[in-house]
Structure 1
Amino acid sequence: MPARLKRTEAHEPDSVDSLAPVLEQQLPALFGGAQNTTASHRKLINSLHALFLRCSLVTTPSADGRSIRLSGEKAFGEKFREMCAFPLGVKKGVDQADRVVKFIAGFVGFAVEHDFKQREANDEDDEDEDDGPASRLVAQLLAFLLRGFQAKSKIARYRCVQLVALMINSLGEIDDESYHTLKSALLERVRDKEASVRQHAVVALSKLQDADEGADEDDSDEDSDDEDEEKAKGDKRTVTEVLVEVLSHDPAAEVRRAALFNLIPSPTSLPALLRRTLDVDTTNRRLAFSHVLAEIPLASLTVAQRQVVLGRGLRDREEAVRKASRKLVARWIEQVAGEEQDGQAIIEEFVGLFNLQDEEGLGVAEKALEALFEVRPDLVEGIDFGDSFYQSLTPATAFLARVYLSHLRDAESPLLADIEPVVTALAYFLQAEWTQLVVTLEADERNDEREASGEFIVGELVGLAINLDYGDEIGRRKMFELMREMLQHSLLPPSLIPKCLDVLLKGTSERDFMRIVVEIVQSLRRDSHLVTSDSELGEPDDDDSSSSSEEDDEDVPEGRARRKDKGKGKAKAPQQIERRKELDLRCLLVVRALLERVMSALQENSMLHGLVAELIVPSVQTKDYEIRAQGLVCLGLCCLLDKSMALDSFLLLARQSESTVGDMQVKVLQTLFDLLVLHGINFGEDRGIGTDIILGFLGSSLDQEDPRAAATAVVGIAKLMLAGMVTDEEILSRLVLLYFAGETADNPELRQCLSYFFPVYCYSNPANQRRVANVMIKCLDVLRNVYEETKEKSSMVTPLQIGAQLVDWTDPQKALDAENVQADENVQVDLAIKMVKALYRSEEKDGRKLWCQLLPKLYIPDEADDLTIKALLLLIDELKDNRPLAEAVPRNALNRFEAAVRKTFGERVDALTDEQIDESEVVREVKTWVDRVEGDGSEDEGVDGDEEEEESDEEESEEDDE
């Protein structure tokens, strides 16, 4: 009978009371097992789900009997959430907590999926989708976790967001209110101060991207009903917009990485994804290539985008990023190849992904082909580089031949001898392509595409010819004759001139090379004076701005008749001038390329003297912009080869740098600074071009309005100062002002140059630190006033930050430890005296506060001179007595500085005798300075006294340099 009773009790339905001990016993056991290993999670999830279904069957009627209470679900949910709360307080990095969180997310996903299958099996309507027990459990758990989003504990916020991110894919269909609540909570956590919280918030938010588009469309007409305007404004931002902002601006690399992994590529997000190829974090840059770009179809990228991103990757400083870029090339090859098996056809199509007519595109395409040779060598090894290959060249195949041969040459591959064409054969191939190009250029109907294609093929063949072996005399003569023929032809594209000269230079001495080129230039100049026949001149150009009034009416019959009557009259003059201009410009381009390739002094090559007088000087004096620009460049190159010509032309070039604009101004400035670096700033003293004139030019060059010209001037002056050629403190102060002023914030080239210059300049030489210390007070005063007048404070750092940077640059502890160079340990001791003097003179509250805040940042070495410290303390005492500080913050900072100095030097200073103090020059100077300022009340005299001290410091610096 007892046994039968137990059996009956075992089959009795569960109740809330009977479930309580079961939940108390089994839930902790299941969660405890889940924290040990993930291998048992599937089994534990099944057991937990079975218990959940068992509890969901337990219901109780309501008090009025009209409804049913889900008491079993409630009991399970309460205990389940209690167990979920345990890992929420465990810090990041604990494996047991991570396993439990994954277990919870896995159970939620399993339960929701089981509910979905159950509804499908029962053919329930979609309206009842939220009525399943799993949906109710998930909704309650989500509400519980969202409350944890607002927790003060960063650990709780991290675990709650982590769990939501893991289970968000398992939520199934949720109502609009729950969706907006979840989205708003995640948007808020995206701005959390903890990077780990932001990272998981980004992961969770990214899973709402697809749902967000439909939700935004549905809610577009309901925005006016939102109670909280700020919250509504935040919700209006799409998930994609938020993720793009995080990807672009979040300071934590791991948060940007999460956005990079989870942001779906689209026209909106693609530019931000591509910008991660410039991320400061190496891992993010690598993943941008291996994860993002590898999954984006080539058709989704423009030619410019392909060139930019691949160029960045293949030129990256980190090998890991370059390796990922090469793998991307292999991925693109697979997309291009498709079912194609012909290696040459695949490579031609791959090269077609880039713009070979663009210099940047050409460079990237060359890097891409080199990567292709490494990752897919089989494609190029199957190509036959025989005569038939060179007889049917296209831009892509010509480019392939040059790059592949260069690759084999750099790798010292034995394949080069079998593939490289002999000089004679290449000369014939090049002759054929050149003839075809000339025919295209002389055709009555111009075809820009054919011209560009022919020019590119000829250029690649000439580039290939540069590196050939010219031991074969017959081939050498054939190639050199062809080069002379091409250079003498008036239709040779300017881009081919330097390449042709490189071939000429390959097998000749420099003197013979110059003779040949001078003969070519003279031949071109003769042609420029032989343009006389009507057949050469052709019909006048209606659009020529320099045409005469008779040409303007060429469409009128009377005008044409009048022009015929005049024969070779004024109607031909404008076209003749234009033709002669083209030939003169071509001559200048040839001379420029020549001067860029020779190294011997100009006096040793008398054959160039005639070109200087007949071509270069008149070109500099002409009003035509193009000719004058090339003439100035040629003149500058001549000056680099001849010091006497540099002396004669320096002032002319300096005036041109002030009167020209744009590219010409940049070229002239580069030439001037090259001359100064080569010849020194004192090279013109014998001709009246003294140091004062050179320094005046340097100062005026910093006043450029054009950002490129200003950056060029800064780069040139930085070179001179690093070389020790320029030590003027006025120029140095101008550089300091340019670096920190807000006006140069939009000139990254200038800022980047100075950000490298100042640390190297200061830490490499103690004398340079002394110079920076001498100009610091004046510069900081100016910059403080500029900052106060600046409306956009974000364009400029605060004066305190500027001062701290200047103090860091003058820190003798950071000076480079080099042989025969002794650090100036007292530089900041003297700077402290200058700061206290500035504090003494300053009447503005912000100014006094600034100097007091900077004083404690100075390095006062234990080996400092006792009398100098005595002068510093004396000056501080006079300041407190005569001009005490009213504000607490600067007063406390000054007191801390004084206390630190007295703690270190107090006994030593007290031990000084009155005789030593009276005989000290630095103490006497401080007393005199204070008496003068207090006696006359004149700050100007105080400034003058300080300037006298700076002059003496400058003299000391010059002595140190000597």
Structure 2
Amino acid sequence: MSSIERIADIFADAQDTSINHKSLTKRLRKIEAKNENNRSSFEEQVKKCAIRCLEVAKSEKAGQNIVRFICTYCAATQNEEQENEEQEEDGTNITNQIMIVLLPYMSAKDKVVRYRATQIVSQLMGIVQEIEDELYQAIRHELGKRVRDKVPAIRLEAVCALGRLLENEMDEEAQAADQERDEDEEMLDEDDERESTGLLDKLLDVLQNDTNAEVRKALLLNLPIEPKTLPYLLERARDKDAGVRVKLYSKLMPNLGDFRHLSLSMREKLLRWGLRDRDERVRKSAAKMFSTMWIEQIAKTLQQTDADVEEGQPKKKKQVGYYEPDVAALVELLERIDILNAGQDDGVGPEAMREFWSLRPDYFDTVTFDDTFWTDLSAESAFMARSFYDHCSQNEAAQSKAEEDQKFPEVTRFGFHLQRELNRVLELRGTTSEEPDEETLAEQEFIAEQLLHIAHTLDYTDEIGRRKMFSLLRQMLSMSDLPEEITKLTIETLRLTCTSDLAGEKEFIAIVQEAIAEVHDTLNDDNQDEETDDNDNGTNRATTPTDSDSFVSAHSELSVQTDRTARQGPSAQDKRLAKMTPEEQEQYHLRTLLIQLKCLHIAHTMLQNITSDFSSNVSLETMLNTLIIPAIQSREAPLRERAIECLGLACLLSPSLARDNKEMFVYCMRKGHEELRMQCLKILCDCAVTHHSRDKDGDGDGDQGLDLAPFVEAFGYSPEVQLCATTCIAKLMMCGFYKPGAKSVDVDGQEQEEEGDEAVEIFENAIEEAAQSGTKGHELLAKVKAALVADERGRGVIEEGRRQS
């Protein structure tokens, strides 16, 4: 048997296993060397063997082994030629010859042949060192057509090859551009630039729109990371396939290099998309990216800088793969994700730090909170402390360890730190000749908010510390210049300092109402100051505030004149307003409106933190009649809307109040703007859900029937209002108002009406009307109904639409 004939035996042995490919490659290379004078016959035999494997299906292991052997042999040939510097010209080397003969098969009718030909060419393109321009363009053209092939496996091989080609082309163009820029000549040939851009656009289009997840994943990992491609690559964090999203966080991000090269918005998006992903693997990958890769990149930079400064100092032992825990690196990491915005309740900061403390116990052990830390707070360090204590409050083991290491602050001392930061906020917001720096004010407010969040986690069994916090919060709550978010957190913390029983709640209500009165009294104080100024200018008699200067009368000054005011004639306020210039009057009205809004905000937050019924607390009734109801009657839209929110919370605490004000909410839903309509629908829904059990048991004084008319009427408004209405109806259905199959069968087999049959008919009509009118969200109602029917049938309550007796 001649050496040429033994080539087929070598390929036959190669298809069995890939273990002996190196030895078979050496044998084939020896045959090639022996037939140097008969090279054409040798190449023909090799090409025939390569063509024979094109009909082998993808699932066959033998076909994959042959492809690997061809690539191993061609790689060995390329390496030897490179070492001997004997590059063959005119494309006569064996690698080019195999690609030339396989090129027509890439367009074959048989999908198996197309796949194998594309696979071999694709893998050989990653091996070849040099290739003729003509052959290169032909292969590139065929691969471009295979990108649109109907077989996903073929598209996968094509995009892998084109990704490598694109990277080489972009590198060559960059080098040519730099060279021509230095020579002050034109940048690139227009045709070459247009051709490369067309290939990139085609691959980016495939990355966005290909239906196969493996194709998108291959492009994600093979496309070059360039300024133009980076947004498209990072966009795959929202890919519909979880595997692609995992690859982005676990593979692409490490290859990306230093995350600080990304824009601030992109960092925030990557964290938010990853940590809030529905797939657990993606969430873990995103958490690992934040807790290990990003923090280590910063720690590496900081410790390299320290090494330059402390050269010659002995190095500390560190965990393999990690740098020494550095609190400065953690602070910088929080700064890099703009924690001032990401640290809000709806931001991604709390979620990211919760994962960080779980994955990095070394940092948990390293951080310390001494007096120096609390004195020199920044936005980042304050948020770090807040996230640390939040983690401890949610993890008993972490809390025990923190208490053992004495990392929880003493309540009394913490109260002084909180008082200092709150005073700074009031100083910055105080009336000064110069406007305060917005960035400084925002940062200081953020620090105060974080300390109030920390106050939620403290132990108030220490009576001295509790009294300190109690007096501080009570004092700060009466400050009219305190921002709304800080006011909200202050009220929530104040509720924690009071006991959890009924007596503690009454004390809490009384304190908050005192604060509301003090905040409103700032209006009278301003008026009194103005009168004092008038007296200094020649007035002989000092004017004192009268009963008409109460909250109701001050509000009436902005809305409607009461009968009492008409009988008494012009009030002191009217006289003062008459003496003011138009600009002063406008400023006075604005100040009054802001004070009233602040009072309503305090009342709104208080109602969110109590459970007392209005009928059992006279002070709540007084607040309703003197603060909330007059504000609802106001002409000022912001005042009315906030007052309606407060009334809605009050209705949740009182069934009779909910019943009496139902028509008012319906009227506001009909006459109000879009936001007010949605707000009223939510109030009606919440009131029905809250008081449903009382009404059903007959223990309450609420409505005995459910009225869906306002929700159905909302189907005729804007799409957002429609969606809100359908969501409310779905919520009512899932809360027990809708009983599917509400027919019962008596012992004689006759159907009889059940008590809930009327409610079922109401819901059925609402669902049907929503579907017929094409209401936004009507599919949700059908899905909820189907789920309830399936649940009832699964529990054996109904069968074929009938309720079992």
- TM-score class, shorter-chain normalisation, is 0.7 to 0.9
TM score, norm. by length of structure 1:
0.67
| Structure 2 letter corresponding to 1:763 | A
Distance 1:599 1:323 in 2: 39
Q: Which residue of 2 aligns with 1:63?
A: none
2:433 aligned with 1:444: yes
Distance 1:565 1:612 in 2: 28
Q: Secondary structure at the match of 1:358?
A: helix
2:337 aligned with 1:350: no
Q: Which residue of 2 aligns with 1:763?
A: 790
CA contact (8 A) 1:537 1:572 kept: no
Number of residue equivalences: 691
2:3 aligned with 1:22: yes
Q: Secondary structure at the match of 2:107?
A: coil
Q: Which residue of 2 aligns with 1:784?
A: none
Q: Shift of the alpha carbon at 1:626?
A: 2.0
Q: Which residue of 1 aligns with 2:744?
A: none
Q: Which residue of 1 aligns with 2:228?
A: 268
2:69 aligned with 1:103: yes
Q: Secondary structure at the match of 2:126?
A: helix
| Structure 2 letter corresponding to 1:206 | G
2:3 aligned with 1:33: no
Per-residue displacement from partner, 1:767-822 (whole Å, max 9, x unpaired)? xxxxxxxxxxxxxxxxxxxxxxxxxxxxxxxxxxxxxxxxxxxxxxxxx3213322
CA contact (8 A) 2:163 2:223 kept: yes
Q: Shift of the alpha carbon at 1:465?
A: 0.9
Distance 2:577 2:410 in 1: 57
2:497 aligned with 1:507: yes
| Structure 2 letter corresponding to 1:334 | E
For residue 416 of structure 2, the aligned residue among 421, 424, 428 is 428
Q: Shift of the alpha carbon at 1:710?
A: 2.3
Per-residue displacement from partner, 1:144-171 (whole Å, max 9, x unpaired)? 3232222232222222222122111123
Distance 1:734 1:751, change over 3 A: closer
2:92 aligned with 1:133: yes
Q: Which residue of 2 aligns with 1:52?
A: 32
Q: Which residue of 2 aligns with 1:480?
A: 470
For residue 337 of structure 1, the aligned residue among 295, 299, 312 is 299
Q: Which residue of 2 aligns with 1:842?
A: none
2:709 aligned with 1:696: yes
For residue 155 of structure 2, the aligned residue among 198, 212, 225 is 198
Q: Which residue of 2 aligns with 1:631?
A: 643
Q: Which residue of 2 aligns with 1:238?
A: 198
Q: Which residue of 2 aligns with 1:588?
A: 600
Distance 1:510 1:144 in 2: 87
Within-5 A mapping of 1:462-611: 462-508=452-498, 509-532=504-527, 568=580, 570-611=582-623
- Any gaps of 5 or more consecutive residues in structure 2? 175-186, 304-324, 499-503, 534-557, 559-575, 739-758
| Structure 2 letter corresponding to 1:516 | I
TM score, norm. by length of structure 2:
0.79
CA contact (8 A) 1:250 1:256 kept: yes
Q: Shift of the alpha carbon at 1:676?
A: 2.6
- Any gaps of 5 or more consecutive residues in structure 1? 1-19, 59-71, 224-231, 539-546, 548-563, 745-749, 766-815, 825-956
| Structure 2 letter corresponding to 1:468 | L
| Structure 1 letter corresponding to 2:336 | L
Distance 2:158 2:67 in 1: 15
Per-residue displacement from partner, 1:453-505 (whole Å, max 9, x unpaired)? 11111111111111211112221111011111111111111111221111111
Distance 1:755 1:22, change over 3 A: farther
Q: Shift of the alpha carbon at 1:140?
A: 3.2
CA contact (8 A) 1:531 1:576 kept: no
Q: Which residue of 1 aligns with 2:682?
A: 670
Distance 1:32 1:215, change over 3 A: farther
CA contact (8 A) 2:102 2:117 kept: yes
Q: Which residue of 2 aligns with 1:312?
A: 273
Q: Which residue of 2 aligns with 1:377?
A: 361
Q: Shift of the alpha carbon at 1:95?
A: 2.5
Q: Shift of the alpha carbon at 1:328?
A: 0.8
Q: Which residue of 2 aligns with 1:416?
A: 402
Distance 1:219 1:356 in 2: 47
* Higher relative contact order (CA closer than 8 Å, sequence separation 6+): 2
Distance 1:153 1:537 in 2: 99
Q: Which residue of 1 aligns with 2:391?
A: 407
Q: Shift of the alpha carbon at 1:448?
A: 0.8
CA contact (8 A) 2:415 2:465 kept: yes
Q: Shift of the alpha carbon at 1:961?
A: 10
Q: Which residue of 2 aligns with 1:93?
A: 59
Distance 1:622 1:359 in 2: 37
Q: Secondary structure at the match of 2:612?
A: coil
CA contact (8 A) 2:455 2:493 kept: yes
Within-5 A mapping of 1:170-319: 170-213=127-170, 220-221=190-191, 238-296=198-256, 297-319=258-280
Distance 1:85 1:720 in 2: 68
Distance 1:613 1:428, change over 3 A: same
Q: Shift of the alpha carbon at 1:823?
A: 2.8
Q: Secondary structure at the match of 1:491?
A: coil
Distance 2:338 2:464 in 1: 37
Distance 1:237 1:148 in 2: 27
| Structure 1 letter corresponding to 2:26 | N
Q: Which residue of 1 aligns with 2:103?
A: 146
Distance 2:635 2:401 in 1: 54
Per-residue displacement from partner, 1:184-243 (whole Å, max 9, x unpaired)? 3222222222222222222122111124446899774489xxxxxxxx9xx786333333
Distance 1:144 1:219 in 2: 31
For residue 819 of structure 1, the aligned residue among 786, 796, 804 is 796
For residue 735 of structure 1, the aligned residue among 770, 773, 786 is 770
Q: Shift of the alpha carbon at 1:143?
A: 2.9
Distance 1:581 1:220 in 2: 65
Q: Shift of the alpha carbon at 1:517?
A: 0.9
Q: Shift of the alpha carbon at 1:512?
A: 1.4
Per-residue displacement from partner, 1:590-627 (whole Å, max 9, x unpaired)? 11111111122221122111221222122222232322
Distance 2:155 2:192 in 1: 29
Q: Shift of the alpha carbon at 1:361?
A: 6.3
| Structure 2 letter corresponding to 1:403 | S
| Structure 2 letter corresponding to 1:191 | R
- Identical residues among aligned pairs (%): 27
Q: Which residue of 1 aligns with 2:312?
A: none
Distance 1:252 1:92 in 2: 17
Q: Shift of the alpha carbon at 1:142?
A: 1.7
CA contact (8 A) 2:658 2:702 kept: no
CA contact (8 A) 2:712 2:725 kept: no
| Structure 2 letter corresponding to 1:333 | I
Distance 1:755 1:699 in 2: 15
Per-residue displacement from partner, 1:86-125 (whole Å, max 9, x unpaired)? 222122233232121011112223323433444x46xx8x
Within-5 A mapping of 1:653-732: 653-680=665-692, 694-707=707-720, 709-722=721-734, 723-725=736-738, 726-727=759-760, 728=762, 729-732=764-767
Q: Which residue of 1 aligns with 2:548?
A: none
Q: Which residue of 1 aligns with 2:378?
A: 394
CA contact (8 A) 2:51 2:102 kept: no
For residue 457 of structure 1, the aligned residue among 432, 443, 447 is 447
Distance 1:639 1:291 in 2: 54
Q: Secondary structure at the match of 2:228?
A: coil
Distance 2:31 2:528 in 1: 105
Per-residue displacement from partner, 1:5-63 (whole Å, max 9, x unpaired)? xxxxxxxxxxxxxxx932112x11221232233333233323323433544x43xxxxx
Distance 1:507 1:566, change over 3 A: closer
